[in-house]
């Protein structure tokens, strides 16, 4: 296991930003390294550490603005700065820093990380990409909303009323809202009990510590999307992904089938696994089964 910092030059910043990373496994073998892209934006790498069960070299990192990497709270609300291109450039920079540009690599993205993985996979930078995993993610924000709205409609009316009132007043604080969003999370973020599982707690704690990227790019609430990703779609570009691609979601997932379907429809060499009795953190809810699916795909 090795930890390090990759300097990342960002236009407009006086000093290079720092991308914190951690590697597991032996990179001197012929095994293909798997680079892990966390969700959020802002959930950080910790919640994906169950992937260390995989028998492959692994690279985890915290994306800029988050976790153990450079924080830029003064950029909160700056939609021009917090662009998808920024995070694609950071990934390119990290791959170069680790000396992985000239060898095959695999990419794993969860939730927002899956969006970023797909965005990167359609660029010329991905010429050394061997396999791609898009997990519990979305092909467009419009299809994501359809899925999330359907989940919300199935909530008890007393919970829906609190969530609707929060959106109406744009006040996402207070005991009533916190209880309502926790009810939603327990159904669709993770089914692991006792609640919260350590991985869930880690992600939620990072959001609470610094919400800069999440609030700017996604919004003030999981169910209220106002950030600069609000009209995002990768669907017109998906045909460019030619590598074998594994798609994963679950029956109780925030990432409902409607938002995963375009990946399956447009990536020719794709395999879609729909897990049962699991939610958005499928890798936590059904850890052993999940790892088996990923491991067998990477062999």
Return the active site residues. Answer: 111, 253, 280
Give the rounded distance of the alpha carbon of 179 from its chain centre. Answer: 24
Among 145, 143, 254, which residue's Cα sits nearest to residue 191? 254
From 138, 225, 153, select the one nearest 187 (Cα to Cα): 153
Do 212 and 259 form a contact (C-beta atoms < 8 A)? no
Question: Given the structure tokens 């950080």, which residue do they identify?
Answer: 44
CA distance 162 to 52: 39
CB 213 within 8 A of CB 66: yes
Strand (E) or helix (H) holding 156:
none
CA-CA distance, 30 to 92, in Å (whole number)? 21
* Tokens of residue 111, six digits: 């939730």
Distances (CA, A) of 199 to 44, 78, 99: 10, 29, 30
Query: Distance (Å, rounded) from C-alpha 206 to C-alpha 198?
Result: 12
Pair of tokens at residue 251: 């029956």
CA neighbor of 107 nearest in space, from 2, 34, 196: 34
Which residues make beta-bridge pairs with 34?
58, 106
Q: φ, ψ for residue 61 (rounded to 5)?
A: -155, 155
């Amino acid at each position: 296991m090795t930890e390090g910092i990759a300097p990342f030059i960002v236009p407009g910043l006086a000093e290079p930003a720092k991308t914190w990373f951690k590697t597991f496994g032996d990179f001197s073998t012929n095994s293909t390294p798997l680079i892990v892209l966390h969700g959020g934006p802002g959930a950080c790498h910790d919640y994906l550490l169950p992937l260390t069960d995989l028998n492959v070299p692994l690279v985890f990192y915290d994306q800029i603005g988050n976790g153990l990497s450079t924080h830029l709270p003064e950029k909160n609300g700056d939609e021009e700065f917090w662009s998808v291109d920024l995070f694609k450039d950071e990934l390119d920079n990290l791959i170069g820093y680790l000396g992985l540009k000239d060898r095959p690599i695999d990419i794993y993205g969860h939730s927002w990380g899956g969006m970023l993985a797909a965005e990167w996979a359609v660029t010329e930078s991905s010429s050394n990409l061997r396999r791609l995993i898009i997990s519990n993610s979305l092909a467009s924000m419009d299809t994501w909303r359809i899925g999330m709205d359907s989940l919300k409609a199935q909530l008890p009316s007393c919970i829906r009323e609190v969530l609707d009132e929060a959106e109406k007043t744009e006040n996402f604080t207070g005991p009533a809202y916190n209880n309502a969003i926790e009810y939603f999370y327990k159904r669709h973020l993770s089914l692991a009990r006792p609640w919260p599982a350590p991985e869930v707690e880690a992600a939620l704690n990072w959001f609470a510590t610094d919400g800069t990227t999440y609030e700017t790019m996604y919004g003030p609430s999981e169910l209220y999307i106002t950030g600069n990703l609000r009209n995002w779609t990768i669907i017109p570009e998906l045909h460019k992904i030619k590598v074998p691609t594994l798609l994963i979601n679950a029956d109780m997932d925030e990432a409902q089938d409607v938002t995963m379907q375009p990946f399956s429809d447009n990536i020719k060499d794709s395999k879609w696994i729909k897990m049962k009795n699991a939610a958005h953190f499928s890798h936590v809810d059904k850890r052993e089964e999940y790892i088996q699916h990923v491991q067998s795909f990477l062999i």
